[in-house]
């Protein structure tokens, strides 16, 4: 058993305890509607507002059969040099435009880029590939709206969606200029690495992951589907420059490591950074935990660099 008392510092433990007070570890046993209500309340408790000069506009994209809600963040007085298409986390059943509202606002304020948050459809009402289809619709919409380079970004489930879009669009005339994945789940080998070492980690366990996996597909075997599991792809060439940030105390960490390694092995550019002592969901700790604050600064800097078409790693 991993001794988390040695890996996790007091500030991070305080964040974990605060999170658990709003979103208890047994929330996975609630109904989906109860889980959503609990998660939304927790996100409201951690909300820190917008940076000065950042405004947001909520609108919809007209997709083939339905509308996809989005929220666009802009920084006053600064024409954006790039656009960030952001996909939120939440296990494909939780979250939306409000759950990551302040994260996207800060990403906009600190990079000066326009940030577009995508409210993709959620399971179980909308099974895979609904989220992927909405993400692709958002990317195509962004291509038509913006002449600036587009960076894909997302955390957890959203990191999965961002990566899937990168794989699906690499043959397009206009492709993402880069992607930034934050503790993503990419469909890696669950019998080894962090999946075993951190199976009972605070904030996310293997039991949680199995629940999210089954509910996303309705229990259907989708082995080999790269729109579901980007690590199932046999070809990692020609992907956009990629930065992957993971948390040490997270069963998903090995996915980020494997993904970066495969891109590099295929001749691409990728950088994987595992943040010591941090846990899944630490974006919400970026104002209260020094390690998370430093990591968020690295994330912001990486998005800024990718948007300029540079590579410094």
Which residue in the list 155, 225, 250, 255 is annotated as catalytic?
A: 250
Helix (H) or strand (E) holding 100, with range, is none
Could you give the CA distance from residue 129 to residue 147 in angstroms, rounded to a whole number?
A: 28
DSSP, collapsed to helix, strand or coil, labels residue 41 as helix
**How do 242-249 and 178-182 pair as beta strands?**
parallel
**Whether residue 52 lies in the annotated active site:** no
User: How many CB atoms are located within 10 Å of the residue 29 CB?
Assistant: 11
User: Do residues 142 and 83 touch, judged by C-beta distance below 8 A?
Assistant: yes
DSSP, collapsed to helix, strand or coil, labels residue 29 as helix
Q: Which of 156, 205, 149 shows the shortest CA–CA distance to 181?
A: 156
**Whether residue 280 lies in the annotated active site:** yes
**Whether residue 250 lies in the annotated active site:** yes
Q: Which of 48, 30, 4, 41 shows the shortest CA–CA distance to 203?
A: 4
Which residue in the list 134, 254, 280, 295 is annotated as catalytic?
A: 280
User: How many CB atoms are located within 10 Å of the residue 232 CB?
Assistant: 16
Could you give the CA distance from residue 64 to residue 172 in angstroms, rounded to a whole number?
A: 20
CA atoms within 13 A on the CB side of 139: 28
| 117-145 burial code (b ≥16 CB/10 A, e <16) | bbbbbbbeebbbbbbbbbbbbbbebbbee
Which residue in the list 99, 117, 156, 229 is annotated as catalytic?
A: 156
CB neighbour class for 269 (10 Å; exposed up to 12, middle 13-18, buried from 19):
middle
Active site residues: 156, 250, 280
């Amino acid at each position: 058993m991993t001794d988390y008392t040695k890996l996790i510092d007091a500030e991070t433990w305080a964040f974990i305890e605060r999170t658990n007070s709003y979103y208890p570890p047994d929330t996975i046993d609630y109904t989906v509607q109860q889980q959503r209500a609990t998660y939304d309340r927790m996100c409201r408790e951690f909300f820190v507002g917008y940076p000065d000069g950042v405004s947001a506009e909520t609108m919809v994209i007209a997709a083939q059969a339905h509308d996809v809600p989005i929220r666009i963040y802009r920084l006053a007085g600064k024409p954006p040099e790039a656009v960030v298409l952001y996909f939120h986390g939440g296990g494909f059943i939780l979250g939306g435009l409000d759950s990551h509202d302040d994260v996207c606002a800060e990403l906009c304020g600190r990079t000066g880029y326009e940030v577009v948050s995508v409210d993709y459809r959620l399971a179980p009402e909308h099974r895979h590939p609904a989220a992927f289809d909405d993400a692709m619709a958002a990317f195509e919409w962004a291509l038509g709206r913006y002449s600036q380079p587009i960076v894909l970004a997302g955390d957890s489930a959203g990191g999965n969606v961002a990566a899937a879009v990168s794989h699906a669009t690499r043959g397009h005339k206009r492709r993402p200029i880069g992607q930034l994945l934050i503790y993503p789940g990419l469909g890696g080998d669950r019998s080894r690495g962090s999946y075993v070492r951190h199976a009972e980690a605070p904030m996310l366990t293997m039991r949680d992951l199995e629940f999210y996996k089954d509910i996303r597909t309705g229990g259907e075997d989708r082995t080999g589907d790269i729109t579901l599991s980007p690590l199932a792809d046999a070809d990692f060439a020609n992907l956009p420059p990629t930065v992957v940030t993971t948390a040490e105390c997270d069963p998903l960490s090995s996915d980020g490591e494997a993904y970066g390694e495969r891109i590099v092995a295929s001749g691409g550019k990728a950088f994987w950074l595992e943040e010591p002592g941090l846990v899944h969901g630490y974006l919400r700790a970026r104002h209260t935990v020094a390690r998370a604050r430093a990591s968020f600064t690295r994330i912001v800097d990486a998005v800024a660099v990718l948007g300029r078409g540079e590579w410094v790693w």
